Amino acid sequence: MPENNRTKLLIARRVPQAVAARAIDEFQAYVTESDMDSWSVVDFCKTHNVQAVLVGKKSGLQKEHIAALPPTVKIIANASAGVDHMDVAYARKQGIAVTNAPDALTECTADFTMLLILAAGRRAAEYGKIMRSGWGKSFGMTEMLGKRANGKTLGIVGFGRIGRAVARRAQGFGMRVIYTDIVRAAPSLENGATFYPSVREMLPHSEVLTLHVPGGGEPLMTKEEFDSLPKGAVFVNAARGALVDEDALYNALTSGHLFSAGLDVYRNEPNVDPRFASLENVFLTPHMASATVETRDQMGFTALDNVAAVLNGKSALNPA
Fold exhibited by the domain 106-284: Rossmann fold (3.40.50)
CA distance 119 to 236: 10
CA distance 215 to 16: 26
Architecture of 8-104+293-311 per CATH?
3-Layer(aba) Sandwich (3.40)
pLDDT of residue 4: 52
Per-residue pLDDT of the chain (320 residues; tens, 9 = 90+): 334 568 899 999 999 999 999 999 999 999 999 999 999 999 999 999 999 999 998 999 999 999 999 999 999 999 988 888 899 999 999 999 999 998 999 999 999 999 999 999 999 999 999 999 999 999 999 999 999 999 999 999 999 999 999 999 999 999 999 999 999 999 999 999 999 999 999 999 999 999 999 887 899 999 999 999 999 999 999 999 999 999 999 999 999 999 999 999 999 999 999 999 999 999 999 999 999 999 999 999 999 999 999 999 999 999 98
Sorted by where each begins, the domain ranges of the chain are 8-104+293-311, 106-284
Catalytic residues: 240, 269, 287
Q: Do domains 8-104+293-311 and 106-284 have the same CATH topology?
A: yes
**Cβ pair 51, 29 in contact under 8 A:** no
Angle between helices 293-311 and 106-121 (to 10 degrees): 150
pLDDT of residue 232: 98
pLDDT of residue 6: 84
pLDDT of residue 1: 36
Which one-letter amino acid corresponds to residue 205?
A: H
pTM flag (> 0.85): yes
Residues in a beta bridge with 196: 180
